[in-house]
Amino acid sequence: MSNGINRREFLKRSTAAGIASVLTLTVGNEIAKAESELSNKATIIDLTKCDGCVNLGTPACVTACSKKNSDKFPVVNEELLKPYWPQPKFEDHSKNKDITDRLTPYNWTFVDKVEVDGEIISIPRRCMHCDNATCLGMCPFGAIEKENSGAVCINDELCFGGAKCRDVCPWSIPQRQAGVGIYTKIAPEYIGGGVMYKCDFCSDLLKNGQKPACVTSCPKNAIIFGEKEELRKKVYELAKEMNGFVYGDKENGGTSTFYLSKIPFEKINDQLKKQNTSPEGPIMGRPLMEPEIENKLDTVTGMAISAAIAPIAGIITAGYVASKRLKGEKTDGK
């Protein structure tokens, strides 16, 4: 062959390339297949079973979550714990890592307790993992991801800690820790505020076909894990059997967390409001259970369609104007 490759070498290289291509396609397809096969998962949190682990100092799910995720908790650079200019404050939970009665960057689930009609109700709280998560849709840095399992996860390497996700979350779930993250490398006093942290549905365990730590640790089997569609059906069957109520299926356009209760959630929320609201406003890290929460992203769908139609309208108008102009030129030419 003229380019210095003989027939034998050509066949050898072609065969190698062929094998490499087949391997790449096969392995690539397998990875893609495994990812796509990881269908939407969900949990039912049965409030008729959860007792908040009355006999334990800390509820088992909270301890298990903390243990499982300890390596993901923020490691703070103390020198960078400075107010967010021009604000006089900054958010630091690093001195209170042991707090377990609210959500913090070091505590991604907690069990709230309310008394309704003389009955104590224990409510495990964490990220609901919304279907069309507002935090994900509105993050200005694309730092929030949704996995095939339905887990909504914050990428701590991309998050600037602006806390917009907490503002747009109907339950204000993500919590901010200052002195950590990408913002510390740019202009920490002036831009950014840290990193937002929240439950990631133990997404690494889900990828390995395992269950989240809160599920496996619950001594009362109050948290049921499974395929989302099956659990959705199941939670309504259970609600029907006990003449109870479901929270989380419709709220914010749908989530992967279905709460089951014998007591209406309006009543639970009324109590939560009383104990989780201070004169300054809602207490951070202690979410309410507002009924019928609308997904704010649904309200912009019409506007998104208008923006999608606008280019077509522009092209049609351009065609009309150009043809009129060209016709005018032709007339002048006559």
Partner 1 sequence: MENNRKIIRQSLSNRIVHWGIAISTILLIVSGFGNMPMYKRYNIVKLPFGEFLGSFINMLYLHYLSAAFLCFFVFYHLFVHYFAKEFDILPRKGDVTQSFLIIKAMITKSQEPPSDKYLAEQRIAYAFIGGNVLTLVITGFIKMLKNLDSINIPNSINTIVTNIHNAATMLLILGLIGHIAAFIFKENRKMIPGMFTGKLDEDYVKHRHSIWYENLTDDEIDVSNNVTKEEKKFETSSM
Binding site for partner 1 (CB under 8 A): 84, 86-87, 131-132, 137-143, 145-147, 155, 158, 162-164, 167-168, 193, 253, 295-301, 303-304, 306-315, 317-319, 321-323, 325-326
Separation of alpha carbons 145 and 156, rounded Å: 11
Enter the tokens of residue 214: 């809160």
Give the nearer residue to partner 1 in terms of CB position, either 113 or 296: 296
Closest CA to 232 of 150, 137, 327, 113: 150
Distance in angstroms (rounded) separating the CA atoms of residues 103 and 99 = 8
Whether 195 and 177 have beta carbons less than 8 Å apart is answered as yes
Nearer to partner 1, 75 or 312 (CB): 312
Shortest Cβ distance from residue 155 to partner 1 (Å)?
8
- Annotate 197-262 with three-state secondary structure: ECCCCCHHHHHCCCCCHHHHHCCCCCEEEEEHHHHHHHHHHHHHHHCCEEECCCHHHCECEEEEEC
Question: For the chain, what is the largest distance between any 2 Cα atoms, rounded to a whole number of angstroms?
Answer: 98
Beta strand extents in the chain (DSSP E only):
41-46, 110-116, 119-125, 144-146, 152-154, 175-177, 195-197, 223-227, 245-247, 257-261, 277-278, 281-282
Nearest distance from residue 89's CB to partner 1, in Å?
A: 11
Q: Which is nearer to partner 1, 139 or 222 (CB)?
A: 139
Beta carbon nearer to partner 1, 264 or 282: 282
Shortest separation between residue 96's beta carbon and partner 1, angstroms? 23
Collapsing DSSP to helix, strand or coil, 3 comes out as coil
- Measured in Å, how far apart are the chain's first and last C-alpha atoms? 65
Shortest Å distance, C-beta 172 to partner 1 = 13
Least distance between partner 1 and beta carbon 106 (Å) = 22
- Least Å distance, CB 150 to partner 1, is 12
Query: Which CB atom, from 159 or from 239, has the smaller least distance to partner 1?
Result: 159
When the beta carbons of 70 and 301 are compared against partner 1, the nearer one is 301
Judged by CB, which is closer to partner 1: 197, or 265? 197
Assign residue 331 a region (left: φ > 0; alpha: ψ between -120 and 50; beta: otherwise): alpha
Minimum distance from CB of 311 to partner 1 (Å)? 4
